[in-house]
Amino acid sequence: MALNTDRLADAGDGKFFRTLMRQWPQGLWVVTPEGKVLGFTYHKPKPGESSSAGQRRWVTDTLTMLRDAAKDAGPLTVREVKTKPGTMLDRGRGPSGDGGARLAVSVMGLRNGQQDGPPVVDSVRLDKEDWATFAPPAGAKVGTDWTVPEAVARQFTPALSPLTDPIFGPRPAHATTARITASLARVGETVIVVRYAGRWATDHNRDGDGRFPIHTTATGEGVGVFDAKTGKPLSVMWVLNGTYRAGPATEKPRATGAVLEWVTGP
């Protein structure tokens, strides 16, 4: 069981996990139902170690712990697991069942312009009404501009954090700036092309604790392609550049990059 919070009830299952956490407040554990710890690991960065090197060591240490714990556990009966359809079959493809879309999001931290560590994989979920705001107004001519509602622009906040733990990532309510403008760039016989520009900034405190402020910024450009006859979206692509700072304003922010993409399909 992976634990990353101490907000657990002191009874039942919560009491079981609290007992483990007296040894260390978070980490990855392999435990018997009786509470015997077979394995434990918690990743701690080393001074001077790059994020990518730390990630590789984290994987190696975790695999070593799991192999040792499996050996200590001894032979176990194989469980029958019934597979279920994927819960995000519409991620990056559409349309969704309600006529909206789930944009596939990939965010990475950057060091000297190069990827530093694995990307965060997430989604931006837009319902039918939100999704429709990216399309040009009926009868619009080339050069027509419009602004996507702020409430929709706020939904892009998952593209601003290079960290997977949700307590480090901003939510729509944390946005202090969220603006997307659109411009009809081309009307052809088969497709319509729309160009987008966006700007975001967020502020929030990790776990609501003012001692741990988190600030993000990003600017981005996007392109949407629509069917000229039906007006339905065919594809959308965004590229964002930004910064992520966990700490006071004196801390140097970390550069980030993100891609959001969606294509029509079954």
Tens of pLDDT, residue by residue over 125-179, are 999 999 999 999 988 999 999 999 999 999 999 999 999 888 899 999 999 999 9
Sites in the chain below the pLDDT cut of 70: 1-9, 25, 85-87, 96-97, 266
Same domain, yes or no, for 188 and 249?
yes
The contacts of residue 204 (CB under 8 Å, 6+ apart) are 170, 171, 174, 213, 214
Q: Residue 4 has what pLDDT?
A: 45
Q: Using omega within 30 degrees of 0 as the cis cutoff, is the peptide bond preceding 248 cis?
A: no
49 lies in some domain: yes
Question: Angle 205-242-178 (CA atoms, 0-180°, nearest 5)?
Answer: 70
Ordered strands of the 2-3 beta sheet = 2-3, 27-31, 37-41
What confidence score (pLDDT) does residue 1 get?
A: 45
Per-residue confidence (pLDDT) for residue 13, from 0 to 100: 73
Quote the number of domains for the chain: 2
d(CA 191, CA 224): 10
Q: What pLDDT is attached to residue 2? A: 47
> Which residue's entry shows tokens 């003012």?
210
- pLDDT, residue 94, reads 80
Asked if residue 221 and residue 132 are part of one domain, the reply reads yes
User: What local confidence, expressed as pLDDT, does residue 86 receive?
Assistant: 67
Integer Rg of the chain from CA: 23
Residues in Cβ contact with 246 at an 8 Å cutoff, skipping those fewer than 6 apart: 168, 206, 212, 213, 214
Q: What is the pLDDT of residue 129?
A: 96
> For residue 258, is it within any domain?
yes
Pair (57, 168) in one structural domain: no
- State whether 163 and 194 are in the same domain: yes
In a domain, 79, yes or no: no
Per-residue model confidence (pLDDT) at position 241: 97
Cα separation, 226 vs 192, in Å, equals 5
Examine the domain organization and report whether 105 and 194 are in the same domain.
yes
What pLDDT is attached to residue 6?
A: 52
DSSP 40-87: EE---PPTT--HHHHHHHHHHHHHHHHHHHHHHH---PPPP------T
Beta strands in the chain (DSSP E): 2-3, 27-31, 37-41, 93-94, 101-111, 114-115, 120-126, 145-148, 175-187, 191-205, 213-227, 233-246, 254-264
C-alpha 108/C-alpha 258 separation (Å) is 6
Spacing of C-alpha 85 from chain mean position: 22
Residues 43 and 145 in one domain: no
Per-residue confidence (pLDDT) for residue 8, from 0 to 100: 64
Structural domain that includes position 34: 2-73
* Same domain for 239 and 135: yes
Q: In DSSP terms, which residues pair with 181 in a beta bridge?
A: 147, 197
Q: Is residue 124 part of a domain?
A: yes
